[in-house]
């Protein structure tokens, strides 16, 4: 698909690192599947990946995590 940000590049399947911060918590997910623009590097996630990221971040927050780095895994 054509990149929605730069409008010049095409997106390709890839994996990115996604840092999330909330309050005093920082969590970094590595190897998150995304469509990445070959021109500007902007990453786009589908709805299932986004929902899984948010669910895992919420679970980490409830567990009292302050700083965490983890490999992304689709929640079961």
* Residue 40 CB neighbours (<10 A): 13
Return d(Cα 55, Cα 38) in angstroms, integer: 29
Give residue 74's pLDDT. 77
Q: Which fold has domain 11-71?
A: Ubiquitin-like (UB roll) (3.10.20)
The string of pLDDT tens digits covering residues 15-58 is: 999 999 998 999 999 999 999 999 999 999 999 999 999 999 99
* Residue 61 CB neighbours (<10 A): 16
Task: Give the start-to-end residue ranges of the domains of the chain.
Answer: 11-71
43-56 exposure pattern, b = at least 16 Cβ within 10 A, e = fewer: bbbeeebeebbeeb
pTM of the model: 0.87
Give residue 75's pLDDT. 61
């Amino acid at each position: 698909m054509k990149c929605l940000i730069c409008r010049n590049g095409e997106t390709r399947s890839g994996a990115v690192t996604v840092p999330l911060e909330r309050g005093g918590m920082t969590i970094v997910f590595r190897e998150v599947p995304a469509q990445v623009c070959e021109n500007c590097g902007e990453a786009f996630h589908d709805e299932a990946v986004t929902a899984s990221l948010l669910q895992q971040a919420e679970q980490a927050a409830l567990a009292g995590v302050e700083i965490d780095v983890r490999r992304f895994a689709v929640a079961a």
